[in-house]
Amino acid sequence: MALSALQRTTFLVALAGCSTAAAPFLDSGTGNEPPPRPDAPPVDMPPPVDMPPPVDMPPPVDAPPGIYSHTVTIDGVDDFTAVEQFATTSNGFAARVTWDATNIYIAYTGADIVPTTSDAKQKWLFAYVDTDPGAATGATESQTYNTQKAKFPAGFGAEFYARWRCDATFHTLEKHAGGASWSTTGAVPPASQVGPYLEFAIPRVAIEATGTTIGLVTWMINEKPGVEGTFAGLFQGNFTNGYGAAMQLTKYLRIDLTSQNPPNDPGNVAP
Ligand SMILES: [Ca+2]
Ligand SMILES: [Ca+2]
């Protein structure tokens, strides 16, 4: 339908009112400003301000070293590395130790780890832990098995120990309860044994280890009457294998949780 003249006018005014792009120049009133020329060049945008060049980071100067950490999978497969290996007081037995933010990992190899070994129900692997080495706290001697125990090295006082019975049917985490008393905790260390290889983890939370160092001593015993013996101690030369009514240990592994040094670094031998 054709628009009437009045309708067309209203429609065009409405269009003009809506337009901004075509808004006419409005004199501000001074009358001195020349109207912009239709071909006035666009106002130049200021040139972009150059971003300042990246400041070179200064090279690290004596940057703090990383800390040593290695997570082991408890699956019966040996995944310890060369720097985590330790000779023991027995030629046929080797120890492995490493750690991460969550656990201390310990492994042993040797014929008596095989559950069918003779006297398997009377052979044990012990791992005693000092959560504050040097602080003169905790037990100065191990728990007695039959007639044997160990006396700890200077500076080592145990708060906990893990024990593994070589028939592979029993292992626990024990807590020092004062004097010669120990009590079994509810934390059973994850462990896996395959043939002559045993690996287990001691959760740092289970031993209430909140400091930056942890002391560790490990060894094995046979508690069978008549053939009692103490052997396979961590660190070759720690003690002389044999019957140990009070076997004097002379060395422990001092784990420094803030150090980049690997487990078998000579600096970790204490005292
Ligand atoms: Ca493993
Ligand atoms: Ca202690």
Measure 85 CA to ligand 1 centroid, in angstroms. 14
Measure 51 CA to ligand 1 centroid, in angstroms. 52
Task: Give the tokens for residue 105.
Answer: 């990992």
Measure 5 CA to ligand 1 centroid, in angstroms. 94
Lowest-pLDDT choice from 27-41, 223-237, 240-254: 27-41
Measure 136 CA to ligand 2 centroid, in angstroms. 6
Predicted confidence at residue 20, as pLDDT, reads 41
Contacts of 226 (CB under 8 A, 6+ apart): none
Predicted confidence at residue 120, as pLDDT, reads 98
Please tell me the number of the ligand nearest to residue 130's CA: 2
Measure 98 CA to ligand 2 centroid, in angstroms. 20
Rounded to an integer, the average pLDDT of 78-104 is 98
Q: What's the CA gap between 266 and 262, in Å, rounded?
A: 9
Q: Give tens-digit pLDDT for 259-269.
A: 999 999 999 99
Q: Give tens-digit pLDDT for 106-162.
A: 999 999 999 999 999 999 999 999 999 999 999 999 999 999 999 999 999 999 999
Rounded to an integer, the average pLDDT of 240-247 is 98
Measure 55 CA to ligand 1 centroid, in angstroms. 46
Q: What's the CA gap between 226 and 243, in Å, rounded?
A: 10
Decide which of 7 and 234 is more confident.
Answer: 234
Work out the pLDDT band at 3, boundaries 50, 70, 90.
Answer: very low
Q: Give tens-digit pLDDT for 185-213.
A: 999 999 999 999 999 999 999 999 999 99
Work out the pLDDT band at 31, boundaries 50, 70, 90.
Answer: very low
Please tell me the number of the ligand nearest to residue 77's CA: 1
Return the amino acid letter for 44: D
Measure 270 CA to ligand 1 centroid, in angstroms. 27
Measure 133 CA to ligand 2 centroid, in angstroms. 5
Contacts of 265 (CB under 8 A, 6+ apart): 83, 259
Measure 2 CA to ligand 1 centroid, in angstroms. 91
Proportion of the chain above pLDDT 90, given as a percent: 76
Predicted confidence at residue 49, as pLDDT, reads 58
pTM equals: 0.77
User: Is the Cβ–Cβ distance between 109 and 93 less than 8 Å?
Assistant: yes
Measure 115 CA to ligand 2 centroid, in angstroms. 32
Work out the pLDDT band at 43, boundaries 50, 70, 90.
Answer: low
User: Is the Cβ–Cβ distance between 143 and 149 less than 8 Å?
Assistant: yes
Predicted confidence at residue 65, as pLDDT, reads 62
Return the amino acid letter for 260: Q
Q: What is the mean pLDDT of the chain?
A: 86
Proportion of the chain above pLDDT 70, given as a percent: 76
Rounded to an integer, the average pLDDT of 229-238 is 97
Measure 105 CA to ligand 1 centroid, in angstroms. 10
Please tell me the number of the ligand nearest to residue 81's CA: 1
Predicted confidence at residue 157, as pLDDT, reads 98
Predicted confidence at residue 53, as pLDDT, reads 55
Measure 151 CA to ligand 2 centroid, in angstroms. 14
Task: Give the tokens for residue 254.
Answer: 């001092």
